[in-house]
Structure 1
Amino acid sequence: MGEKVVKMSGPNMSMGKILKFVIPVIILVILAFESLTVVQAGHRGIIVQLGAVKPTVLGEGMHFKIPFIQDIVQVEVRVQKAESSASAASKDLQVVTTNMAVNFHMDPSSVNKLYQTVGMDYKGRIVDPAIGESLKAVVARYTAEQLISKRSEVSLQVKELLSKKLSTYNMMLDEINITEFKFSDEFNRAIEQKQIAEQQALKSKLDLERIKIEKEQTITKAQATAESLRLQRENVTPELVRMREVEVQQQAIEKWDGKLPSTTGGAIPFLNIQK
Structure 2
Amino acid sequence: MKYAKSIIGGFIGIVVIFLIFSSVTTVQSGYRGVLLQLGAVKPTILSEGFHFKIPFIQSVQPIEVRVQKEESAQTAASKDLQTVTTTVAVNYSVDPEAVNKLYQNIGLDYRSRIVDPAIAESLKAVTAKYTAEELISKRPEVSAEVKDMLKVKLTKYYMKLEDINIKEFAFSEEFNKAIEAKQTAEQNALKAQRDLDRIKIEAQQQIAQAGAEAEALKLKKQEVTPELIQLKQIEVQEKALEKWDGHLPSVTSGATPFIDVNGLSGK
TM-superposed CA distance for 1:190, in Å, is 0.5
Q: CA deviation at 1:96?
A: 0.6
Match of residue 132 from structure 2: 144
Q: Partners in 1 of 2:102 and 2:234 — Cα distance?
A: 116
CA shift, 1:149, in A, is: 0.8
Displacement of 1:254 in angstroms is 3.3
Determine the structure 1 residue equivalent to 2:36.
48
Higher mean Cα deviation, 201-210 or 63-72?
A: 201-210
- The question of 1:92 aligning with 2:80 is answered yes
Q: CA deviation at 1:270?
A: 4.2
User: In structure 1, what is the equivalent of residue 247 of structure 2?
Assistant: 260
Q: Which whole-Å deviations, capped at 9, do the CAs of 1:164-221 have from their partners, x for residues lacking one? A: 1111112111111111111111101100111111111111111111222222222222
C-alpha distance in 2, partners of 1:181/1:233?
Answer: 73
Deviations 1:53-98 (A, max 9, x none): 1111111111000001111000111111011111111111111110
Contact 1:103 1:174 in 2 (8 A): yes
Aligned-pair identity (%): 57
Query: What TM-score, normalized by structure 2, do the two folds share?
Result: 0.91
> Quick one: which amino acid aligns to residue 220 of structure 1?
A
Aligned length: 259
Task: Tell me which of 8, 16, 23 is aligned to 2:11.
Answer: 23
Answer whether contact 1:97 1:181 (CA < 8 A) is retained: yes
How do residues 209-220 of structure 1 correspond to structure 2 at under 5 angstroms? 209-220=197-208
Aligned equivalents of 1:69, 1:265: Cα separation in 2: 145
For residues 109-151 of structure 1, give each alpha carbon's deviation from its aligned partner in whole angstroms, at most 9, with x where no partner exists: 1111111111111111111111111111111111000101111
| CA RMSD after TM alignment | 1.8
Shift >6 Å, 4+ stretches: none
Where do 1:93-132 residues align within 5 Å? 93-132=81-120
> Could you tell me which residue of structure 2 aligns to residue 175 of structure 1?
163
Which residue of the partner structure matches residue 3 of structure 1?
A: none
Query: 2-side partners of 1:244 and 1:126: how far apart?
Result: 105
Q: Say which of 46, 52, 66 aligns to 2:54.
A: 66
Q: Partner amino acid for 1:150?
A: K
Where does structure 2 lack aligned partners over 5 or more consecutive residues?
Answer: none
How far 1:20 sits from its partner (Å)?
1.6
- Consecutive unaligned residues in structure 1, runs of 5 or more: 1-12
